[in-house]
Amino acid sequence: MKFLTVDDSSQVIGKPYQGRMLINGELCDAHNGATAERLSPAHDVVVGVYPDAGAADAERAVDAARAAFDEGTWPTMSGRDRAEILLKVAEGISARVEEMALIECLETGKPLSQARGEVSGCVDLWKYAAALARTLHGESYNNLGDSTLGVVLRQPVGVVSMITPWNFPIWILSQKLPFALAAGCTAVIKPSELTNGTTLMLGEILLGAGLPKGVVNIVTGMGPVVGQPLVGHRKVDMVSFTGSTRVGRLIAAEAGAALKKVSLELGGKNPQIIFPDCDWDAAVDAVVFGVYFNAGECCNSGSRILVHKDIAQRFSDAVIERARQVPVGDPLHPDVKVGAIISEVQLGGIQAAIDEARSAGATISLGGDRQPSERGMYLQPTIVTGVTPQMTLAREEVFGPVLAVLTFSTLDEAIALANDTCYGLSAAVWSKDIDVCLKAARKIDAGTVWVNTFLDGFPELPFGGFGDSGLGRELGLNAVEDYTEQKTIQLHMGERQNWWLPK
């Protein structure tokens, strides 16, 4: 298994990024002056220094967002004018792709080439949201009788708290923020304390684009200190969260107690179903890509494959051989495909899942151990065969570069195995028989089912899951509508008959 290094990464890393929060239109430090450093998980050096905010900072951010919504111009601004600012933000991101990609690479450990693709892809999300800002509309009903006209308005829901994870910091924020802004909402954002960089850079871009003060506020710090107040706050109208199912449940409970609107994008245990008549090379490549992209730290990771018994051994061998060739190493190296793991805690959890599978009788057919390196936290790309449906590795999210291989005999069995988990985020079906693909796609309980491809995506297509994978959808034509409330206005024309007088 290849492990690639860079001769002198210090010249590329440079000085740590000094980020500042955005509150009420100003870049600022924490009220108490506290800061926190971020060590690169690949290089063991400080790459970012950020405000370590407290409850007072969160309160200021919420107050600013509330005032901007209740007293400012953003909610009543025309769709055209909001769209123009969103397009300026897209231009600002495009101009800083390299800078943002580097800090994302350094903070997450993902390969620089993948970080570059993530940041540049965000440009399209902001452009798509700008288009929806101009097309958001209500309804009218002229079929209610001669004396009645019905009008249904869509109004922005209000102040939205957005809590984002560490695995795709700027991408996941861009699945939320531009659509909320397009609807006329204001926002308070809390990024993961592990990956503040690109979110704070976005704050600088928002200011440069002319966004009115208080419309977007960004606070950095620990979840219990800064994030929790943003969930139950009486001045917050909606909570949008992406992260673990465990934390999602807690957020849903607290937001539900206050009757707040919630959007939750949570975990996944996503199967790729491989039939004997698949496009062999494409399927093998998609399996390796699906599980090792972003080091498997991805809710959409193809972390389990269900392979027909007639080809199970041969297909597994092909995947193992392909996986052996995946370059692991310093994420700054241009050829690296699997970089560092985000933290020691995450690495320990992944290794514990592998050890449990081994104890349960599965076979570690590739990898399974920490990758030796002079610095940083790396795990060997791992493939586990002989996995049975009852094993934890077949049912629970690992969030690392670990593939579980299961087998099936019939289409119905494959569908049952695919659905035999609490998650329902995504799945894939590989067969040249379109009837097989469509039957599987209809019966698999997942928000997205790919047919003869994997991990493709477009802003036009909704994203979200069933069951423990979350509530609601992001992206798609309805993405802006999710940040609105409907209001019915019923107009009466002409004389109205008094109800108690005789006709």
Tell me, what CATH number does 211's domain have? 3.40.605.10
What's the pLDDT tens digit per position in 470-496? 999 999 999 999 999 999 999 999 988
Q: Is there a domain that residue 288 lies in?
A: yes
**And the tokens for 497?**
């008959």
Do residue 217 and residue 294 come from a single domain?
Answer: no
Do residue 200 and residue 165 come from a single domain?
Answer: yes
Q: What's the CA gap between 368 and 356, in Å, rounded?
A: 11
Q: How many structural domains does the chain have? A: 2
Q: Is there a domain that residue 411 lies in?
A: yes
Q: What's the CA gap between 459 and 440, in Å, rounded?
A: 24
Do residue 209 and residue 350 come from a single domain?
Answer: no
Q: Is there a domain that residue 458 lies in?
A: no
pLDDT at residue 398 in the model: 96
Do residue 42 and residue 175 come from a single domain?
Answer: yes
Of the candidates 83, 23, 34, which has an alpha carbon nearest to the alpha carbon of residue 57? 23
Q: Is there a domain that residue 367 lies in?
A: yes
For residue 71, give every residue at least 6 positions away whose Cβ sits within 8 Å of its Cβ, in sequence order, or none.
none
What's the pLDDT tens digit per position in 268-295? 999 999 999 999 999 999 999 999 999 9
Do residue 210 and residue 355 come from a single domain?
Answer: no
Q: Is there a domain that residue 13 lies in?
A: no
State the catalytic residues.
265, 299
Judge whether residue 233 has pLDDT over 70: yes
Do residue 101 and residue 211 come from a single domain?
Answer: yes
The DSSP element (H or E) to which 55 belongs, if any, is: helix 55-71
Do residue 235 and residue 276 come from a single domain?
Answer: no
pLDDT at residue 498 in the model: 83
Do residue 277 and residue 256 come from a single domain?
Answer: no
Tokens 């969030």 — which residue?
A: 399
State the burial class of residue 116 (Cβ atoms within 10 Å of its Cβ: 0-12, 13-18, 19+).
middle
pLDDT at residue 503 in the model: 61
pLDDT at residue 291 in the model: 98
Task: Domain of residue 403: give its range.
Answer: 271-451
Judge whether residue 136 has pLDDT over 80: yes
Do residue 31 and residue 51 come from a single domain?
Answer: yes
Mean predicted confidence (pLDDT) in 333-356: 97
Do residue 251 and residue 395 come from a single domain?
Answer: no
Q: Measuring CA to CA, how many Å separate 208 from each of 69, 88, 146, 263, 340?
A: 20, 8, 51, 29, 33
pLDDT at residue 497 in the model: 81
Q: What are phi and psi of 281, to 5 degrees?
A: -60, -40
Q: Is there a domain that residue 474 lies in?
A: yes
In the chain, the percentage of residues whose pLDDT exceeds 70 is 100
Q: Is there a domain that residue 104 lies in?
A: yes
Judge whether residue 501 has pLDDT over 80: no
Do residue 319 and residue 261 come from a single domain?
Answer: no
Work out the pLDDT band at 255, boundaries 50, 70, 90: very high
Q: Is there a domain that residue 214 lies in?
A: yes
Judge whether residue 1 has pLDDT over 80: no
Judge whether residue 7 has pLDDT over 90: no
What's the pLDDT tens digit per position in 179-225? 999 999 999 999 999 999 999 999 999 999 999 999 999 999 999 99
Q: Measuring CA to CA, how many Å separate 428 from each of 195, 306, 402, 457, 458?
A: 30, 10, 17, 13, 16
Do residue 225 and residue 353 come from a single domain?
Answer: no
Judge whether residue 389 has pLDDT over 80: yes
Tell me, what CATH number does 308's domain have? 3.40.309.10
